[in-house]
Amino acid sequence: MIRINLVPEELQKKKKGQIFKKILKSIPLEILVGSIAGVLILLVGVHVLLQMTIFLKLASYGRQKARWVSIAPEKGHVDKVLENLQILRKKIDIVERITIEKRISWAEKINVIGDMVPQGLWLDKISLSKNVFLIKGSAVSKKNDEMTSVGNFSSNLKKQKEFMVGLQDIEVGSIQRRNIHSTQIADFVITLRLDEKFNR
């Protein structure tokens, strides 16, 4: 089929593809090849840069992971120390609350205990836990009157006003007897409770 177009060439509508082909034909081959090569080089450069960034990130992650593994045991030790420190701080707070705010002189009480200890009786442990004050010790006597010795010691402490400040309910727990080379020894525990007004 033959088409006859009487419209002048400059006024004829041109298709987009023809326009693009005409533009490509008008660009020198060297410039076209150089532009394509430049775009390819740019894409390769961006790709290499991204690969290097990923590699550096992976290397940094590996170093951080190795460092974390190396310090994990030390971190566990530090956590344990901090936990113990927290426990000690709580105990210190209890002692400070009792000694400073409530004005209980524990040094004076220790001195009284030392003065009241009779011959044949010795102390193993003196402790303060929450609202309980404990005195643990042992007694020995050739006359087999260890229980009497412990009872007298407890009574003498109770009679000392400076010792009983802030304390109440002094009690002697069950006495455990044992023998060491045919010598009878009585282990005892004396329990005192803090007065409520000193335990708030």
Query: Domain count of the chain?
Result: 2
CATH of residue 143's domain is 3.30.70
**50, 76: one domain:** yes
**191, 118: one domain:** yes
Indicate whether 9 belongs to any domain. no
Residue 54 lies in domain? 14-101
Angle among Cα 121, 122, 127 to the nearest 5 degrees reads: 130
Which residue, of 76, 101, 126, is where some domain finishes? 101
Closest by CA to 149, choosing from 124, 121, 126, 172, is 121
Q: Is the pLDDT of residue 179 over 60?
A: yes
**18 HSE (CA, 13 A, CB side):** 4
**48 HSE (CA, 13 A, CB side):** 6
Closest by CA to 140, choosing from 180, 189, 113, is 180
Which residue, of 51, 82, 101, is where some domain finishes? 101
DSSP letter assigned to residue 99: I
Q: How far is CA 113 from the centre of its chain?
A: 39
Q: Is the pLDDT of residue 12 over 70?
A: no
Indicate whether 8 belongs to any domain. no
pLDDT in tens, 42-59: 888 888 888 888 888 888
Helix (H, G, I), strand (E, B) or coil at 102: coil
pLDDT in tens, 78-101: 778 778 888 887 877 776 665 544
168 Cβ contact partners less than 8 Å away, ≥ 6 residues apart: 192, 193, 194, 195
16 CB burial (10 A radius; 0-12, 13-18, 19+): exposed
**156, 82: one domain:** no
Residue 192 pLDDT: 92
pLDDT in tens, 22-31: 666 666 777 7
Indicate whether 7 belongs to any domain. no
Which residue, of 101, 125, 156, is where some domain finishes? 101
